[in-house]
Each structure stands twice: as structure tokens, then as C-alpha cells.
Structure 1
Amino acid sequence: MERVASRGAIMFSVVSAAITMLLLSPPWAFAAAAGSNCTTSCGNISIPYPFGVEPGCYHAGFKLTCLNDSLLIIGASSAPVLEINLPDGTMLIDVMRVDESELPLPDPESSSNYTTAGTWDVIGNGGDGLYALSGTRNKLVAVACDVQVVLMGLDGDIISTCAAFCSPFLGKTYMVASADCSGVGCCQATIPTGVAVYLLQFRRFNGSWSGEEATVYIVDAERLSSYAMDAGLPSSLPAVVEWVISNDSTCQGNVTSPECRSSHSFCQNSTVFGGGYRCHCSQGYDGNPYVLNGCNDINECESPEIYPCFGNCNNTQGGYLCHCPLGFEGDAYKPTGCKDVDECMHPEAHSCYGICTNMPGTFHCQCPQGRFGDPFIRGGCITSKNSFSGLNIALVVSGGLILLLVALAAPFITRKLQLQRAKRMKEKFFKQNHGLLLQQLISQNTDIGERMIFTLREIEKATDKFDKTREVGGGGHGIVYKGILGLHVVAIKKSKIVVQREIDDFINEVAILSQINHRNVVKLLGCCLETEVPLLVYEFISNGTLYHHLHVEGLISLSWGDRLRIALEVARALSYLHSAASMPIYHRDIKSSNILIDDSLTAKVSDFGASRHIPIDKIGITTAIQGTIGYLDPIYYYTGRLTDKSDIFSFGVLVIELLTRKKPFIYRSDNGDGLVSHFDSLFMEGKLVDIIDPQVMKEENGDVQEVATLAVMCTKLKGEDRPTMREVEMTLENMRAKNGAANKTAPACSHRDHILAQGANQELSRQYTMEEEIMLSARYPR
């Protein structure tokens, strides 16, 4: 069972010699400091002091080896050096990957799913206290299916972990954009700062160690997107190593140190290793602070893209000066900071005794018409005998008349041009939004109202040109305004985003939604197509949302009777959309803030901005993921496959929200579980009283357990295990009839209720697998 490949021996006994040669470095610390006989590069890699190759050319602990004048490595290790960065105190090295087969498998007679922990000394000799992997720059990356990778400290404490799964429709192959390693075929996690040696383990979720082998990297996160993790996995990837001059001393006075040899340099203590320091060039200087005269002044004027100057730039030692050109004043460090000086406003300073005309950076001074001479001398302009002829008078009068006519006509011409341009834009948007197709549908379908298409002028009049005071709400899909069309108060939704590929389906969906006539669905009255994004007109519901009624301050919220009735009304609406509409409609964003409440506390489903209609001959479609964190169906999230079961999962979350008064999108238990996962665990343990709203426990008539059972069934991980909305509606109808009117006969669905309860009770003895727990409690990255 002990399988250790030759490469594995190098990796887990450690890229061991990586720092060995550092310990053998000579005791002189700064002997030559990159003298004339020192190697300054290996291949295309520069070697700045304190690093070096020959004796006397490096500081203690910073010896490198150059193989064949082309490959630079740390001492005698096999980790190639790709780059050395003095200002950042970092080094880029090539780190070999680790394969799952390089660790011994667990004893087949034991119940463990973990490999035997292997030591991963990435740099060698534990970095000798001078080197450690950067936690801010690097990522732990695993390419695998159904495997958890665990990174531990030498004391056995877990310091980083990630898990990767492969959905069935992907099979055994996966194409992953590396920067997108989010858990499907590839995962990533952060690593701690200042650690050089780890323990590494693998865990298989399915208990099988056959099939695709897991591979682990530590890699520079900035370069991760450059590598495609597909069939041809690289044998190594670059990682960032941080270093300090010494791990057991600090800067003198926290600013100086003998090792900072250059003038215009300073010492700065490091917080990465818990000790040690680095040298830096002072502000306005760059170069090597570890050698004499290594820090040189930066000529900022040669790099205006870094050091902005929008006037005349003069370089100084450690900085630069920027001032406005002659004839301008202001702040030359800003793009428009230099303003022209109007010399004509200060004639005493510029001695102009004639007509002064300001020009950029200067001015022009001339004698008045009919005079000649020197206008810069007081009395220097002399009157001409023929200064003002009849021709001059005629020119002045005619010019004045022309200017008067232009001034009078300009507003009318401008207004006319603006109206014509606005008309052309309206016609363009109307055609772009398929207004002609909607007109054709109206003429062919008498079920669609004749006043379904509204003009932009009507909408602007109804909303006072979208005045801010008319805003009554908003969300991920747009802003809602309150308006008055005719004698009716309406809600007008103005979308935020233009997605041309969805506008192609917009008109058909408007036609379908306009035919929905259900007391628990907000009625779509029409639309305006004369804007870039179509505007939708709905009936106005004045009493706010279920979210605001449920999550009020204090102990008392909606009564249990009202909550149960609202759940039934939402179920009726969704059942109608799924099975009774002319074409099935999936809402995709069921949540408490999208349930409007009218004055009689009747629920109405709203916000169809994310909804999709599904052709009758199809059971689902693959589409871009939309929805709200906490309510989103995990199977739909991972597969993109939209079915009616996605709305049922969101409805189940809504029922849990009604039972607990907890907010699904922010709730986290003490163990870090989301609302759905925590509720399911308490349900299976018979401890629902720990999470149910105390007001519900006081008001309920013994039906909380039934409602909780229904919520658990609706939020099953697998869509096929969830009931249909029609079955949910019948179950809630039966509860209402049983509790509210004992003299009435409940709908004939008790057999289905028995099946729902039986299915939920069977779950009491089953624990969620890790995969399900991750999918249900994860903080979705959206």
C-alpha cells in the first residue's frame, strides 16, 4: 500500500536541498556586494545583491546556483528561480505539482477516506527562516473530481482546504478556466502567510480511489488565468516566495540598518515572519538599497503616465516640480488645472491702452478702429481724419441685423432639430424592440388589450418624467415608479440592463404575461417600446412587500394564519403559472421581496424580469443562471438546467422564511450552515423549536410540523424528489380547510400529504453527504 514515486520522494521528503546551500554560505555578509567579478545574470534572470552565485558576492543565506549559464536555482535544490523582485522582497520560483498517487492510500480495512499525510516542504529546509510562501499572492489549486484537498500545519491543524466535484453531465473530462476554479472540476483556496512546510492529505467522497487522479498546485494567483487546466496539466507552476534579510533581528530605531548601505534608503521591519526586515529606496528613488550608491533619483518628468504633470515639469532630487506655462495659472498637477490668465482684466499690469483681446497664454493689443499708433503707450493711438466712413456705418448696421435674425431664429431651429432627433430615436427603439411584431400579435389576438402599447410621452407624463419622488422600489432588474395613466394608478418598471439576445424573446413573453389573469399574480397592463430598454406597466399594489411585513422590528409580525394563507396564495399563483397558463412560465426569482401585499393582505407574485416561458413539448431549458442567493436551487445553479422544480425549491425556502422569520440570503448558523441546511438538520433531529419563530409556536394549531415537512420536501437536493406546485397547493388547501372550517370537506389530497410526510420522516435517519452540505450551505459567488 506504500506507493511513493521517485518524484514524490523529492517532493515529500521535500524539495529538500532547496535551502541546504544557504546554510553553507560564507560568514561575510557584504564582502563584495555585487563586485565587478560577480555574476549578474543567469540566462535571462537578473541576480541583484544580496543574492549571488560566487563566494563574496552574496549575503549570508542568499546563495544561488547557475546551471549551464541558463538555469538559476536556490542552492542545490530543483526549484528554478524565475524572477527576483527587490522592492517587493519576493522571488518567483517554479513549484512541482503533487499527484494523489504520491501519498500512501488508507488501510482498506479502516473506515478512513483520507490518504496518509505527507510533508510538503516546497522551498527546502523549511525556508531556513528566511523564505516562506506568500499568503497574499499564492493560491492552493486542486484539479480533480469528488476529492477534498486538506493543507495542514506541522501541528496537524487544518489551515486551508478546498473540494472539487464533477457534475454527471460533464463526465470524466473537464475544461476549466483556471481563474474560475469554483468547485466544478477544479477548486482553489488561500494559504496562510509566512509558512514554508505543510502536511497534505486527500479525501475521496465516494470512497473509491480509482479513476481520474487528483493533482495539487501552489501557484501565483495573478498568473493562474494563464494556464488552462484541461487534459494536459503542467508539471509545475510559478509561486511567489517572500524573503527577509534576517529572521532574528529588526531595524535599528525601526528606520536604519547597516545592511541598507545606499544613501536615500531606509529599513522596514517585516510582519510576515514574525521578525526580520528588508531595505527599500526612499520615495523618489529606485535601485538596489543593499549596495553603495544603489538608490538613484527617479526622473519623474520622463514618466508622465506615472507622475502626472500637465504643465512644465522640472526634476528634483527625490521628487519633481510642476508649474503652469507662462500666461497660465492654477494647479499643473491636474488635467485641467492650468487656466488661461486673462491679461485684459489687468491692464495696469500689461500696459494695453487700446483694444485688448485675450488669447491662450497671451493677449493682443491694438488701437481702436479709426486710430493708429502704439497701443502700449498711454495716448499712443492717434485719431485718423477719415476714421469713420459711410461704408463702415453700413457694415455695422447690416452685421447687427444679421446677428439679430440669427439670435431670434436659433431657439426655434434648435427645438425643431431636437424634436426630429427624438422622433427618430423613438422609431429606432420601437423597431429594435419588435414593436411591429407586437402590433401584429394584438391585431391577431383579441385576448390582448387594445391599449397594451403606451407611448413614451404618456409614460413620462404619468411619472413626471421619471421624477425621483415617484420611485417606489427597485431591485436587480430595474427601478419601479408610481404613475397615473388615465384614471388608474400603475407601477412602471424601468429596466437597468440592455441584453439584446433577450429582447428577441421579449415580445412573445409580453404577449404571454398579458394573458395571465390570476388574483395572486400582479397584472401586466402593457409596455412602452420607444426607449432603449422596454418599459413595463403593471397594476399598482400599495401595501409593500411580504419581506417588509414579515421582517419588522419587535417580537410581533404577521400572524401565523396570515402567513399560512399567504403561502397558499403564492402556491396557487405558481401552480397557475406552471400548469394552467397557455405556455408554462418559470418565475426564477421567488423570494419575499417579490411578493407584494395589497390592502387586504392578499399576496400577489411580482417581478417577472427573470422569468422564462417554456414550450409545452419541453420539460426544461438550459439558460444563464439568475436568481437570489439563499433562494437559488443548487441543482439549477450547478447545471444551468431550468425546470419547474427550481421555483419549487425557492418556494420551499420562502416557507422556511415564514416559519422562522430568518433572512435566507444572510442567515448563518453557529456551524456556518445556511438557513435551508440548518432547518433540515433541526427537522431531522426533532428540534424545530430551536429555530421556529416564537410567535408561530404560540399561535399555531398543531400544523407547524406539517408545514415544515412540506418545506423540507420542496427543498430536497434532487429535483425529482420534490413535489409539483399543484401537489403543494392541494396540501396547503387541505391544511387551511382542516384548520379554518371544520364543517367543510378538505380537498382529496390526503394520500399525497401522507406520502410527503412519510418521505420527510424517512430522512430523519439520514445525514447529508458532504457534497450536499457544500451545495446547500455554500455562499454562492453571485
Structure 2
Amino acid sequence: MSLNSAIFYLFLSLFPLALATASSSSSSRLITQGTTITKPNCQSKCGNLTVPYPFGIGINTGCSVSSWFDVNCNTSFSPPKPFISTGNLEILDILDDKVLIKNWVAASCYDQFGNITRRNQAFINLVSTPFAFSDINKFTVLGCDEFALIAGSEGRNFTSGCVSLCSSREDLIEGDCSGIGCCQTAIPKGLKKFNSSLGSLNNHVNITSFDPCGYAFLGDPDHYRFSAHDLIDVSFQNWTIDNVPVVLDWAIGAENCSEAQKYNDFTCLQNSYCIDSDTGLGGYRCSCSKGYEGNPYLTPGCTGSFNCSCKKGYFGDGTKDGRGCIAENSQFPVAKFSLGISFGFLAFIIAATVVYFSIQKTKSHETKRKILPAEWWVAVEAATFLK
């Protein structure tokens, strides 16, 4: 093998190792990260939840953009709990384009003779509100003798169903929701109201020992992983209500950006831009322009400059299209990448040098053989052997 070939293959073996030390990360900016979160003299927290404008705490207090963005902070709980306006939908989190609410779960339970011992339905109505069910949610049905329908008549005319069957606990597959003890189906964007109807094919006769109840709920599938234990867990309904949120899309008004900006109450302020809602129901949201931060709905709008900076614990140029911001304790920060490249290059130089001198030594040895008589080399090798 020639020296050039040896170096080429050595480089190919080391180069992927150097690249493996590089990585990148990104994070989204929330409207709760600005220095101004609420309108003047308005409360910013209800219990553990930060409530940013265009939402506002209090009913008809003027702290929100409209009455449906009012957050009712119920202080009879400890800590207080936030609810959407005057309704009974508990808010778990408020994001730039989503609201997470507490779940509702339909359930039907049976005794060993097939008699119903408990039944309740799940029904949520978002008609006339600025909210719609996100298509992130999945309709999930749990049980070994279940069929369920989900129907929506507002926003999107929609009907779908799911059937979940099995004859023994051994049939169940952990983490699988393909129809054996658990099934899931998608919903469309823009759904405003749903009602789930849960039924049984054989009233759970012969399976109550490991599956006395069936359940149906709409929720974020990333927060639920099926387990066979769920079928016998008497606390499953309450656990799902508390731990599997329903994700809602939200938007301001019913007009898209091009129409809304014609009116005086257009809410996207300085250094921000308008985003049309993608639910098909109209409405819009606002976001800070590149290089700016804050709450785009509040005076004076988004602030800052194009000289971006990173928050504490991060380094970089802070720009979206540049290096961005990298955590100082990141597994693969730039320093480690540079160190990896340096060590890789050093190893490459050392290995290339070894290969080069090995080849030169071989060439020198062969040259000497050609110059000196063969009898001399036989004598040298014999002397070496005797030593």
C-alpha cells in the first residue's frame, strides 16, 4: 500500500469520530418569558400557573383580550386552580399556541354477571370559544370488550370509532394500542365539540377477573403508554384525568391576519408578526420578529435588537440562523467538539508519521539488499540467529 493510500484510509476512519462529537439544540420561546407578562395591575399567577396576556386572571376584570380569555382563579383549592372563563375546564398550562386542560374520561364497569355497576360519558363543548381540539390528541379506547364512537358536530362534522378486544390477559402487548386491549384513532383539526359513547359487545362476561371496566378518552398520546395493569387498576380513570392532558389550539378573533390588521383592535404590536390559525376556523396569533422578545400582545410590543444574546447558562450568538444558544453543560458543546477535532487530528498525524517511517525503513532495507552481496546478508542473518 502506498503512503498516500494509507493516509487516505486512516483519515476516513478518524473523520466520522470527529464529526460524532458535534450536535445542535433549539428551544422555543414562550410569551411567559418576557419581562412584561400581564396588563398593568393584573395578577400574573394562579396557583402554580403563570397566565400571560392575551389571557388574564379574573372574570370581566379587563385583564384579558376578551371574556373567553378570562381565567377564573378558584381560590377554594389549595393551591388555587385556574379554569377557562366561567366553565369547568381546568387549565394545566398556557403555551404560545396551545392550552392544556385537564381530561375527562368515559367509563363503563361490569360485575361478573355482565351487570353495569358504573357508567359515565365524556363530553366537552368548545363552541363559541376561541379554542378547538388540537389534532395532536388521539381518541383512545381501553378494554377487552369495548367499542366506542367519538362524534363532533361543530367546527368539523366528524364521526369515528375504535374497537378494542382480547380474550385473556396474555393477549395484551405492553405499550401497544393497535386494537388488542387498547386502540387509538386520530381526530381532525378544528373540532369544537365531542361526545364519546362507550359500549360493550358482551358486557365483559368471562373477563371481569382481569378487565372489569372499559374506558375512552381524548388526550395527548405522548402522555400515555398502554400497560396491561391499566385494565385492573381501579385508579386508572383518576390517573388519566390528572396526567393525560387534552390539547387545545387557540386563536384571537375569527378573521385571518390580512383581515384583522384592518381593524383598530388588531393585537400584534411593534416588532411582531401575525400568524394565521391553521384550524380552518379563522383567527390569528402574534409572535415576536426575529431578534426581538417579549409579549407581542402588550405595549410596547416586542423589544430588543438584532444583537441577540443567550440567557444564563447558555452561550453562542443567540440567532436562529447562526450558532444559536448552546447549554454550557451540554453533552457536546463547541469546546468538546474542538477538543475532539484536535485529538483526532493529532492521532492522524502520529499514525501517518508511523506509516511513513515504516515504509521508508522497508525501502532502505530493500535498497541495502540490492547493494550488498547475498552472501553477506546470509552471514548477518546467521549471526543474528546465534545471538
TM-score range, shorter chain: 0.5 to 0.7
Q: How does 1:30-41 map to 2 (within 5 A)?
A: 34-41=38-45
Alignment partners' CA distance in 1, 2:137 and 2:356: 72
Alignment partners' CA distance in 1, 2:163 and 2:215: 12
Specify the structure having the higher radius of gyration (Cα): 1
Alignment partners' CA distance in 1, 2:245 and 2:323: 41
Aligned equivalent of 1:151: 150
Relative contact order higher in (CA < 8 Å, ≥ 6 apart): 2
Letter in 2 for 1:168: S
Structure 1 residue 208: Cα displacement: 3.4
Letter in 2 for 1:281: C
Are 1:94 and 2:90 an aligned pair?
Answer: no
Alignment partners' CA distance in 1, 2:139 and 2:362: 67
Alignment partners' CA distance in 2, 1:119 and 1:229: 19
Alignment partners' CA distance in 2, 1:146 and 1:84: 37
Alignment partners' CA distance in 1, 2:356 and 2:83: 83
Is the Cα–Cα contact under 8 Å of residues 134 and 193 in structure 1 kept in the other structure? yes
Q: How many residues align?
A: 275
Is the Cα–Cα contact under 8 Å of residues 120 and 197 in structure 1 kept in the other structure? no
Are 1:160 and 2:160 an aligned pair?
Answer: yes
Structure 1 residue 93: Cα displacement: 0.5
Is the Cα–Cα contact under 8 Å of residues 268 and 280 in structure 1 kept in the other structure? yes
Q: Normalising to structure 2: TM-score of the pair?
A: 0.59
Are 1:208 and 2:199 an aligned pair?
Answer: no
Letter in 1 for 2:217: Y
Structure holding more strand per residue: 2
Aligned equivalent of 2:310: 302
Aligned equivalent of 1:190: 186
Structure holding more helix per residue: 1
DSSP 3-state at the match of 1:241? strand
Are 1:79 and 2:85 an aligned pair?
Answer: no
Question: Among 354, 358, 361, which residue is 1:409 paired with?
Answer: 361
Aligned equivalent of 1:287: 294
Alignment partners' CA distance in 2, 1:304 and 1:85: 22
Structure 1 residue 256: Cα displacement: 7.4
Alignment partners' CA distance in 2, 1:277 and 1:129: 14
Are residues 256 and 285 of structure 1, via their aligned partners in 2, closer, same or farther at CA, if it must alter by over 3 Å? farther
DSSP 3-state at the match of 2:150? strand
Structure 1 residue 240: Cα displacement: 0.5
Aligned equivalent of 1:56: 62
Letter in 1 for 2:148: V
Alignment partners' CA distance in 1, 2:289 and 2:363: 61
Structure 1 residue 50: Cα displacement: 1.0
Alignment partners' CA distance in 2, 1:130 and 1:119: 24
Are residues 411 and 284 of structure 1, via their aligned partners in 2, closer, same or farther at CA, if it must alter by over 3 Å? farther
Q: Normalising to structure 1: TM-score of the pair?
A: 0.31
Are residues 410 and 290 of structure 1, via their aligned partners in 2, closer, same or farther at CA, if it must alter by over 3 Å? farther
Is the Cα–Cα contact under 8 Å of residues 251 and 277 in structure 1 kept in the other structure? yes
Q: What percent of counterpart residues are identical? A: 24
DSSP 3-state at the match of 1:280? strand
Are residues 194 and 158 of structure 1, via their aligned partners in 2, closer, same or farther at CA, if it must alter by over 3 Å? closer
Is the Cα–Cα contact under 8 Å of residues 37 and 44 in structure 2 kept in the other structure? no
Aligned equivalent of 2:257: 251
DSSP 3-state at the match of 1:286? coil
DSSP 3-state at the match of 1:95? coil
Aligned equivalent of 1:220: 220
Structure 1 residue 84: Cα displacement: 0.2
CA offsets, 1:417-470, max 9 Å, x none? Answer: xxxxxxxxxxxxxxxxxxxxxxxxxxxxxxxxxxxxxxxxxxxxxxxxxxxxxx
Structure 2 regions of 5+ residues with no counterpart? Answer: 1-35, 325-333, 339-354, 365-387
Structure 1 residue 204: Cα displacement: 2.9
Letter in 2 for 1:53: I
Structure 1 residue 261: Cα displacement: 4.4
Alpha-carbon RMSD: 4.2
Are residues 120 and 291 of structure 1, via their aligned partners in 2, closer, same or farther at CA, if it must alter by over 3 Å? same
Alignment partners' CA distance in 2, 1:405 and 1:100: 81
Structure 1 residue 296: Cα displacement: 3.4
Is the Cα–Cα contact under 8 Å of residues 104 and 122 in structure 2 kept in the other structure? no
Aligned equivalent of 2:270: 263
Letter in 2 for 1:90: K
Alignment partners' CA distance in 1, 2:107 and 2:148: 11
CA offsets, 1:683-741, max 9 Å, x none? Answer: xxxxxxxxxxxxxxxxxxxxxxxxxxxxxxxxxxxxxxxxxxxxxxxxxxxxxxxxxxx
Are residues 168 and 261 of structure 1, via their aligned partners in 2, closer, same or farther at CA, if it must alter by over 3 Å? closer
Is the Cα–Cα contact under 8 Å of residues 266 and 281 in structure 1 kept in the other structure? yes
Alignment partners' CA distance in 2, 1:53 and 1:164: 42
